[in-house]
Amino acid sequence: MMFRRLWDNKQFVISVSIFIIFLFNLPSLSAAFTQTERYNFQRSIVDFRSRLNPSYMKVQRKKTKYIIVHTSELSLKTTLRVVSKGKHLRNGRRTNGGHAHYVIARNGRTYRILDKKYVADNAGRSMWNGDTHISKLSIGIELVGHHYAPISEKQYRSAGILIEILQDVYDLYDRSVLTHSQVAYGLPNRWFKEVHRGRKRCAKNFVRTKAGLGPTWPYDPDVRAGRLMADVQLSEVFYGQHKIDPQPDEANVISRRNTAWAIAGEDYDSTTTVYKFPNGRQYTGDQVADEVGWNRVPAKTVVRLNYESRFELLKDNGIIKTISNGITAWSLAGKSYDHETTIYFLPSGKIKPGSMINDWDDLPAKTRLIIGYQGPYKLNKDRTAFRIAGLKYKDQKTIYYLPSKKLLSGNQIRDFSQLPIGTFIFLPTTL
Bridge-based pairing of strands 46-47 and 110-112 is parallel
| pLDDT at res. 115 | 97
* DSSP structural state of residue 354: G
Cα(347)–Cα(159) distance, integer angstroms: 32
Cα(323)–Cα(332) distance, integer angstroms: 8
Cα(316)–Cα(245) distance, integer angstroms: 29
Tens-digit pLDDT profile for residues 249-307:
467 889 888 889 888 888 898 888 889 898 888 888 988 988 889 989 999 998 888 76
Residue 430 — pLDDT band, cuts 50, 70, 90?
confident
| pLDDT at res. 155 | 97
Cα(277)–Cα(267) distance, integer angstroms: 18
Q: Contact 103/144 with Cβ under 8 angstroms? A: yes
| pLDDT at res. 190 | 84
Peptide bond connecting 376 to the previous residue in cis, omega within 30 degrees of 0: yes
**Bridge partner residues of 253 (DSSP):** 302
| pLDDT at res. 90 | 65
Structural domain contains residue 344: no
Poorest-pLDDT segment among 136-150, 323-337, 349-363:
323-337
* DSSP structural state of residue 122: -
| pLDDT at res. 91 | 63
Structural domain contains residue 234: yes
Tens-digit pLDDT profile for residues 100-111:
999 999 999 999
Structural domain contains residue 174: yes
* CATH number of the CATH domain containing 234: 3.40.80.10
Exposed, middle or buried: residue 361 (CB in 10 Å: 0-12, 13-18, 19+)? middle
Poorest-pLDDT segment among 72-81, 134-143, 164-173, 361-370:
361-370
Q: How far apart are the first and last CA of the chain?
A: 82
Poorest-pLDDT segment among 42-46, 286-290, 349-353:
286-290
Average pLDDT over residues 178-203: 93
Structural domain contains residue 275: no
Structural domain contains residue 321: no
Beta strands in 198-338 (DSSP E): 274-276, 282-284, 302-304, 321-322
User: 41-71 burial, b for 16+ CB within 10 Å, e for fewer?
Assistant: beeeeeebeeebeeebeeeebeebbbbbbbb
Structural domain contains residue 427: no
pTM of the model: 0.78
Average pLDDT over residues 94-123: 96
Q: Is 243 or 46 the better-scoring residue by pLDDT?
A: 46
| pLDDT at res. 325 | 61
What is Dmax (Cα atoms) for the chain?
A: 101
Cα(263)–Cα(250) distance, integer angstroms: 10
| pLDDT at res. 13 | 41
For residue 290, the number of C-alpha atoms closer than 13 Å in the C-beta half-sphere is 4
- Mean pLDDT (the chain, rounded): 86
Poorest-pLDDT segment among 48-57, 84-93, 253-262, 309-318:
309-318
> How much of the chain, in percent, has pLDDT values that exceed 90?
62
| pLDDT at res. 148 | 84
| pLDDT at res. 241 | 62
Q: Is 371 or 91 the better-scoring residue by pLDDT?
A: 371
Q: Is 83 or 87 the better-scoring residue by pLDDT?
A: 83
* Number of residues that this document lists for the chain: 431
Q: Is 137 or 292 the better-scoring residue by pLDDT?
A: 137
| pLDDT at res. 200 | 94
| pLDDT at res. 38 | 95
Number of domains in the chain: 1
* Residues spanned by the domain of 85: 31-245
